[in-house]
Amino acid sequence: MPCRKTEKRGQKRKNGVRFIFYRIDSAHRTLKKEFFTINMAQEYLGKSKINNLPRLPLEGSIDLTYCCNNNCQHCWLRIPPDSSEKKTELTFTRIRKIVDEARQMGCRRWSISGGEPMFRPDFAEIFEYLTGNSASYSINTNGTLITPKIAKLLKRKGNKMIALYGATKDVHDHITRNPGSFEAAMRGFRYLKEAGAGFTVQLIPMKDNYHEFKDMIRLAESLGKHYRVGAAWFYLSACGDKERNAAIKRQRLPPKEVVELDKPDLSYEESMKEQYNQCGKETNDKYLFSSCIAGRRDFHIDPYGKMTFCCFIKDSSFRYDLRNGSFQDCWENFIPSLTTKVKVTEEYKKNCGSCKLRKDCRICPVYAYLEHRDFNQKVEYLCAVAKENHKFKENWQKNHRRYFKIADITVQVESDLPIKDNTFHPKFKLFEVDGPGEDTISIRHHFSLPDLSGKDLGREHYRKPPWAIYKNNGSWVYLGISPTLGDKSLHRIAAFNPDYTRGRIYNDKEEAFIKGGLHSLTLFPSDQILLARVLADRQGCYLHSCGVNFQGKGLLFVGHSEAGKSTMATMLKGQAEILCDDRMIVRRQKSEDRSQKTGFKIYGTWSHGDVPDVSANSAPLRAIMFLEKADEDRIIPLEDKKEITKRLLSCLIKPFVTADWWDKTLVLIDKMAERVPCYVLRFDKTGAVADILRKL
C-alpha cells in the first residue's frame, strides 16, 4: 500500500493548500525540501473554523481493498489477491449507501486508498461516485494498474499520489517483489500524462532503495512537475505477524536519516499547535484518546465496512460494523464512546507521558499498538527519532531563526539558509531580542521559486511593478514581477495569512542572503510593505518623519523628502535621542484608566535616511511638527483638524491598500489630529530651534 502516514501527521500535505516539493540543489548536490503555500493560512484558518464548528464528519478516508498486486517488503496492510477476506469486502451498492449517509451529515472530502484501490474491478464506478459526491479527494496508488480509461477518470481535480519505490527496475521490483512492477508503473505515469491528468510522484525511502534515492528524485522530476517524500519511517503490520514485522523493521532508516528526510517545520508546527488536532499529542487526560476524538472531524472506513476515527486503529473492538448499523449511529454514539475506552496507565505516565522529548516525538498510541499490541507502550525506534528531532530543532533555533522587536511587535525571521551575524545590516542589532514577545509575527525565507503553473492564485487585486497581488480565500499572494513589458519572469513570491502575521517568502537567488549586510528582514525593498499592513490592526502607522526623544518628550518632525528631517536630526544630536530620521511608527496606546484619553507613542525604526542613527526605543508623543525651511525659527500652532488630517495623510506611508486598511488607518489619523498638539515648525540651520522645543 502506498504511504498514507503524512495525511495523519499533518506534516507533508499537498491538498491544494500547502504544496511541498523537493529538488536537488545544483550547487551542493544536496536534497532540499521546499514549501509553497499559495494560501498559506488557508489550512490554519480552515482548521480554526472547523474546530469551532459542531462535531461534523467533514472528511472521510476509505480503503477499498487490502489486496494488492505488489507485495512490498515494508507494507503493513497487504493481503494476497486470492485471500478469502476479499469476498467480505463492501459492494459498490453498500459503498454508495455509506457515501450518501456521510454526505447527509456533512462529509465533503474523501481520501481513497488500500491495498491497491485499483485492484477492485469496480474501481472506476466507485471512484466516479466518491469524487462526484465530494468537493475534493485524494488517492494513493502504486500506479501499475492505471489504464487509459482510468487515466481519463483521474483528470478530475484532486490529489493523486503515485508511489515510486526505486529509480531502476531491479531495485523497484526488489521492493515490490513483483517482477515487471517498475515497467507497469512507468506505463501508468505515461497514461496519466497522455490524458492530461495531474499527479504527484510519491517517493518511498527505505534501506533497500536509499542508495539510489537521489536518482529516484531525478526520475520523479522527469516524470512530472510535483513529487513528495512519503513516510520516512514505517509502522509495523496490522496483523501483528512476527516475520512480517521483522521485514518491516529491516527497511527502517536510521533515525538521523528520518529527520533529514522529514525535517520539522517549527514555524508551521507553532502556528498549528492550538488550532489543529495533532495526532498523538501529549495528553493530560485519564484516557489516551479523549482529546483526539473530541477534536476530530474525520473518520475511516475499512474494506469490510468497519468504521472508526483513525485509519491506524486495527483493534476490532474500536471499529463499528456499518453493515449492522448506521453511519449516523457510529459517528454520534459509537466513536464518542471510545474516548474512555483506553485508560492512561502508569507505564505510559512513566515513559511517554513524562518524557522531556514528547513535543519532539512522532509517537501516537496507535503506533504503540501496532508495535506492541498495547496502546500505552513506548516505541524505542521513535524515541531515537525524537532525539534527532530535538537536535535538529535546537540547531534550527540557533542558526536559522532570529527575533527583532519594533514598535512592540516581535518579528520572527527564519531561513532555510543559516542566519549569520553579518546576514543583516549591523543596525538590526539594536532591535534584536532573545525570543518571541506577546505580539509576534513570523516570516520564513526559501531560496527557490515554486512552480505556479496550474495553481489557482485567486483574484488579482493589484498589478504594478514590482508587484502583482492576489487574494485567495482571505490570504494574500505577492508576485515579484518584472517592469519590462512581456517579461513574465518572477524574482520573488510571498504568501501571507489574512492578517499578515505569518508569511513565507520565496526568493529566486540566495547570493544576496549569503553575502549579507541586508537592509530589510523581508528582503523586500522595504519592510514597510509588511509592517504597515500589520500596524493597521494594532492602531499604528508609518509616517514620513524624524522622531526624537527630547527630554522625555516624543517629538515627531513630519515631512517628505527634502523637508529637513535629516537636518533636524543632525541639529538635535547630543541634545535628544534620535529614534530615526526618516520613517517613524506611531501607535495609539490603551489607557487603563477609562476616564483618561488614550495617548500615542512614537517608535524608532531601522528605515533611516541620511542620518544612520537609529534606536529601538520609544517615547510618548507630545507634539507633531510639520517642517518648513525658513530664514528664522518659528513655531505656529495648528488648530484646524481638517488641515492637520490632510497634512498627516499626505505623509502617511501606505502598503498595498485595502478598504479595511483605510478604515482602520483613517480612524487612527483622525484621533491623532484630535488629541496630539500639532504645529508648523519653520526653522533655519543654526540649531537654535532646540530652544523653541524646550519651551513646548
pLDDT grade for 10, boundaries at 50, 70 and 90: very low
> Which of 284, 277, 289, 374 is closest to 340 using CA atoms?
289
Judge whether 448 and 509 are in contact, CB under 8 Å.
no
DSSP designation for 428 = G
Q: Is the pLDDT of residue 16 over 50?
A: no
pLDDT grade for 270, boundaries at 50, 70 and 90: confident
Q: Which amino acid is at 615?
A: S
Torsion, Cα 268 271 273 277, to 10 degrees, reads -80
pLDDT value at position 14?
A: 32
> Which of 546, 552, 589 is closest to 696 using CA atoms?
552
Beta bridge partners of 459: 471
Judge whether 68 and 81 are in contact, CB under 8 Å.
yes
Displacement of CA 36 from its chain's centroid (Å)? 8
Distance (Å, rounded) from C-alpha 270 to C-alpha 245?
Answer: 34
The stretch 304-325 carries a mean pLDDT of: 97
CA torsion through residues 405, 406, 410, 412, sign: negative
Angle ∠(371,373,374) on CA atoms, nearest 5 = 100
pLDDT grade for 273, boundaries at 50, 70 and 90: low
Write down how long the chain is.
Answer: 696
CB-CB neighbours of 654 under 10 Å: 15
Least confident of 273-287, 524-538, 635-649: 273-287
CB-CB neighbours of 300 under 10 Å: 22
The stretch 546-553 carries a mean pLDDT of: 96
Pairing between strand 600-603 and 618-629? antiparallel
Distance (Å, rounded) from C-alpha 293 to C-alpha 289?
Answer: 6
Q: Is the pLDDT of residue 25 over 50?
A: no
Between residues 231 and 328, the one the model is more confident about? 328
End-to-end alpha carbon distance in the chain: 78
Between residues 276 and 566, the one the model is more confident about? 566
Q: Is the pLDDT of residue 24 over 60?
A: no
Distance (Å, rounded) from C-alpha 47 to C-alpha 123?
Answer: 31
Distance (Å, rounded) from C-alpha 251 to C-alpha 210?
Answer: 10
The stretch 527-542 carries a mean pLDDT of: 97
Cβ neighbours of residue 17 under 8 Å, at least 6 residues apart?
37, 38, 39, 40, 42, 43, 46
Average pLDDT over the chain, rounded to whole?
90
The stretch 590-603 carries a mean pLDDT of: 75
Distance (Å, rounded) from C-alpha 105 to C-alpha 640?
Answer: 61
The stretch 526-534 carries a mean pLDDT of: 96
The stretch 206-218 carries a mean pLDDT of: 97
Task: Give one DSSP letter per residue of 531-589, joined into a string.
Answer: HHHHHHTTTEEEEEEEEEEETTEEEEEE-STTSSHHHHHHHHBTTBEEEESSEEEEEEP
Distance (Å, rounded) from C-alpha 373 to C-alpha 235?
Answer: 12
The stretch 326-342 carries a mean pLDDT of: 97
Phi/psi for 228 (5° steps) reads -145, 160
Instruction: Identify the burial level of 52 via C-beta atoms within 10 angstroms of its C-beta, where 0-12 means exposed, 13-18 middle and 19 or more buried.
Output: exposed
pLDDT value at position 293?
A: 93
How does pLDDT run across 449-465, given as a tens digit for each residue?
988 877 889 999 999 99
Judge whether 238 and 182 are in contact, CB under 8 Å.
no
Beta bridge partners of 161: 140, 200
pLDDT value at position 30?
A: 37
How does pLDDT run across 370-405, given as a tens digit for each residue?
999 999 999 999 999 999 999 999 999 999 999 999
Instruction: Identify the burial level of 464 via C-beta atoms within 10 angstroms of its C-beta, where 0-12 means exposed, 13-18 middle and 19 or more buried.
Output: exposed
pLDDT value at position 1?
A: 59
pLDDT value at position 51?
A: 52
pTM reported for the whole predicted model: 0.82
Pairing between strand 600-603 and 136-141? unpaired
Distance (Å, rounded) from C-alpha 392 to C-alpha 76?
Answer: 29
What is the arrangement of strands in the sheet containing 320-321, beginning at the earlier edge strand? 226-229, 200-203, 159-164, 136-141, 109-113, 59-63, 298-301, 306-308, 320-321
Phi/psi for 167 (5° steps) reads -90, -15
Report in angstroms the alpha-carbon separations of 672 from 136, 532, 645, 667.
49, 17, 8, 9
Domains of the chain with CATH codes: 398-531 (no CATH), 537-695 (3.40.50)
Tell how many helices (H) and how many strands (E) occur in the chain: 23, 28
Q: Is the pLDDT of residue 279 over 90?
A: no
The stretch 491-504 carries a mean pLDDT of: 95
Structure-block grid coordinates of residue 156 = 478530475
